[in-house]
Amino acid sequence: MNYALVTGGSRGIGRAVCVKLAAMGYTVLVNYQSNQEEAEKTLHLIREQGGDGELLPFDVSKQEEVEAAIQEWNDRNPGKYIRVLVNNAGIRKDALLMWMKNEEWNEVINTNLNSFLYVTRFLIKDMLLNRFGRIINVVSLSGLKGLPGQANYSAAKAGVIGATKAMAQEVAKKNVTVNAVAPGFIRTDMTKDLDEAQLKAMIPMNRFGTPEEVAEAVGFLASEKASYITGTVINVNGGLYT
């Protein structure tokens, strides 16, 4: 049985990724922080299509919680390991930098950037020992071009992009790939406060994307077919920034 862990898997892009990986034959560990009801819905969607998974709650921004939860899973599943990791959990706390509070900066950095370290570092050893692993980081258009009002979010996502490229070179010889997917404007809870009618005029495809379109790119990078692709960022943005 092959296992995949998706952080922030209860809604939006994370949910679509969980469903996609389950369709590829993975048993999916659906991580979430507090919204168990939505996480249960994700698990229901996975099982509805004949897949399987389990819920794995922890706060990605807290090292102790991350390591305790994954260690407990390891203890329950001796001889098994998580082959695919999708670092997807993220939050936004938008404000102009001149008015941004320390906690708005720190919470976004902790959840979107430091979590990459806590989760990936704990799982990478097993991937290297087993000589197979797929790490896919969900970043953002904001981390590539920067978006006003998102200095914290842009800094965090740009940091993950840099870490993706660096780590890819560290583990490539062991058949472990590390890539990123950078969504543009995708119709999710995180973008529901944005003016879609106004913003889509900037997008060559003239529409927001769907979580499923992002999940297809993640699924490809998680597959055997992407075995010679590492250290790269795939843009899923309708041509907005390419």
Residue 194, in any domain of the structure: yes
Catalytic residue among 3, 153, 228, 241, which? 153
Residue 82, in any domain of the structure: yes
pLDDT of residue 242: 62
E-strand ranges in the chain read 3-6, 27-32, 53-57, 82-87, 133-138, 176-183, 233-236
Nearest residue to 171 via CA among 125, 138, 114: 125
Is the distance from CB of 116 to CB of 162 less than 8 angstroms?
no
Range of the domain at 134: 3-236
Q: What is the mean pLDDT of each run of 10 residues along the chain (242 residues)?
A: 96 97 98 95 96 97 97 96 97 95 98 98 98 97 93 98 98 98 87 76 92 98 97 96 70
Count of domains for the chain: 1
Q: Is 153 among the catalytic positions?
A: yes
What is the value of pTM for the model shown? 0.95
Residue 120, in any domain of the structure: yes
pLDDT of residue 194: 72
pLDDT of residue 200: 85
The CATH number of residue 175's host domain is 3.40.50.720
pLDDT of residue 223: 96
Tens digit of pLDDT for each residue in 35-74? 999 999 999 999 999 999 999 999 999 999 999 999 999 9
DSSP state of 185: S
Residue 242, in any domain of the structure: no
